[in-house]
Amino acid sequence: MKYFGLPLGGNPLSMEFWMPMIEKVSKRLDGWKNSFLSKGGRLTLIQSVLASIPIYYMSLFKIPNSVVEVLERVMRTFLWDNQDGSKSKSLVAWDIVMSKQKGGFGIRNLKMKKIYGYRMSLWAEHLGTIEDCFIQPESLDCVRRVRSMGEKNWKQFAAEEVTEMRGHLLKYPVEVDRKGKVKPLSGNESFPDVGGNIIGSFIAIQENLTI
């Protein structure tokens, strides 16, 4: 079972956990493309891949340095190898390639891990707190904790007494019965602030929009 393309319940500190992402990057930077791309074209492709694949996973999990080193090796090989596929030595040190201040190309430095920090700040913003389980969002402990906090926030939001809420991540007030029918929670048929129905009316255009 996977969560956002990575193994559910796996260990984010292990290399095995990150192999699906590493394989995706390697596939996108496949060596045969070297024959058709200039150095500038390869650089553009590297930056495009970095902007889509590793960054997505890094926003969810804290990436180990060992995985970063594997990714950087894949990118270095793709950038510097000859067009006939033969190996070539790196012409410039990779730390310089990453730094525009040093005259490089400005390739993102994955070791800085600012994306993970941004993700943790989102936890704090939406839930009003940071807990140890948030470090591993793929864990069942984190899923259960966030769910319970969302349920608590909804009860506080729907209560007659107005109290200050710690966070603003709410459970959507529906439940699914054994037959798969979705219905509002008992006593919560409408939103307390605007009065709209929890379960709206079905119209034909909705089905067309989801095809």
The model's pTM: 0.52
How distant, in Å, are the alpha carbons of 72, 116, 125, 126 from that of 65? 10, 13, 27, 29
The answer to whether the CB of 67 falls within 8 A of the CB of 18 is yes
What is the average pLDDT value for the chain, to the nearest integer? 79
Spell out the per-residue pLDDT of the chain, length 211, in tens: 665 566 666 788 888 888 888 888 888 887 667 677 888 888 888 888 876 777 777 777 778 889 888 988 888 888 888 766 677 777 788 888 887 778 887 777 777 656 667 777 778 888 888 888 887 777 889 889 999 999 898 888 888 888 888 888 888 888 888 888 888 888 878 887 777 788 876 555 544 444 4
Enumerate the domain spans of the chain: 2-112, 172-211
Burial of 28 from C-beta contacts in 10 A (0-12 / 13-18 / 19+): middle
* 57/115 Cα distance (integer angstroms): 10
Residue 88: its pLDDT value, please? 75
